[in-house]
Amino acid sequence: MTPDPQPTFVLVRPQMGENIGGAARAMWNFGLERMHIVAPRDGWPSGKAVAMASGAGRLLDQARLFDTTADALADADFVFATTARGRGLTKPIVSPERAMEMAAEKIAQGQKVAVMFGPERAGLENDDIARANAIVTVPVNPEFPSLNLAQCVLLTGYEWRRHSSQIAHERIELAKTEPAPQIEIEKLAEHYEARLEEAGFFFPLTKAPGMKINLRNLWSRMPLTRADVQMLHGILRQLLRGQNTPE
């Protein structure tokens, strides 16, 4: 498969079909057509989404449906999470302009980029955001930060179009390796989480969920290559070898 020429927009647990349709229109206004949908509240397919999408209905026909955020991001090399406010996670926060500049650069290098959008009311959960490499925040009026889903998609799509048509194609030299795709980061995170769970690392129990999110966030924030991921798996296995085999 040839590298994606554009980012995938991932709608995470969208609530109303109309808003999914509105997001499809907003994407197609700027030539974006790759949509992933995670666990839409009112089921899928959605007649209301189709009615709202009108001229952009093809995006809905071709949209891919997933049960979890992790699945929807599996083949992405770099992930943005759109959110209105900081979430207490250590993570770069960029403007839509900078985000789509970065996306255009990464895509020119052959990487796959995904942008997550949260459900209408609550927005993305920290568990979703922890999977992102960077946060995108639209610089809205702090007195009235009320962008809806389709508007957020519209502004991001607009910035994509602004930057994708102007970017000089350049490559970054990666020493005999390439960025780890999201699925590998996910497996690495699971590997560490499982072994650390067994080792009693997540203690006390009341703090365990927060510790797990921090650890997940650590992996996703790091610009890891496939070689890095292999080394980190190897480190974990080797450290545990003494415990699991009789000496």
For its own copies, the binding residue among 89, 100, 130, 185 (CB under 8 A) is: 89
Pick the closer one to its own copies by CB: 73 or 180.
Answer: 180
Per CB under 8 A, which of residues 176..215 are in contact with its own copies?
Answer: 176-177, 192, 195-196, 199-201, 211, 214-215
Q: Is 228 in the site for its own copies (CB under 8 A)?
A: yes
Per CB under 8 A, which of residues 40..79 are in contact with its own copies?
Answer: 54-56
**Could you tell me the smallest distance in angstroms from the CB atom of residue 74 to its own copies?**
23
Are 96 and 136 in contact by the 8 Å Cβ rule? The answer is yes
**Could you tell me the smallest distance in angstroms from the CB atom of residue 66 to its own copies?**
25
Per CB under 8 A, which of residues 92..121 are in contact with its own copies?
Answer: 92-95, 97-98
Distance CA 41, CA 11 (A): 11
Size of the site for its own copies (CB under 8 A): 76
Distance CA 12, CA 67 (A): 10
Pick the closer one to its own copies by CB: 108 or 196.
Answer: 196
Residues 213, 7, 125, CA angle at the centre, nearest 5°?
A: 25
Pick the closer one to its own copies by CB: 54 or 68.
Answer: 54
Are 33 and 27 in contact by the 8 Å Cβ rule? The answer is yes
Residues 100, 102, 106, CA angle at the centre, nearest 5°?
A: 115
Residue 66: its H or E element:
strand 64-66
Q: Is 222 in the site for its own copies (CB under 8 A)?
A: yes
Per CB under 8 A, which of residues 132..151 are in contact with its own copies?
Answer: 135, 138-141, 143-147, 151
**Could you tell me the smallest distance in angstroms from the CB atom of residue 232 to its own copies?**
8
Pick the closer one to its own copies by CB: 26 or 113.
Answer: 26
Distance CA 50, CA 60 (A): 7
For its own copies, the binding residue among 90, 121, 204, 206 (CB under 8 A) is: 90
Distance CA 18, CA 30 (A): 19
Is beta strand 78-82 parallel, antiparallel or unpaired with respect to 134-136? parallel
Pick the closer one to its own copies by CB: 51 or 239.
Answer: 239
Work out the burial of residue 29: count CB atoms within 10 Å of its CB; fewer than 13 is exposed, 13-18 middle, 19 or more buried: middle
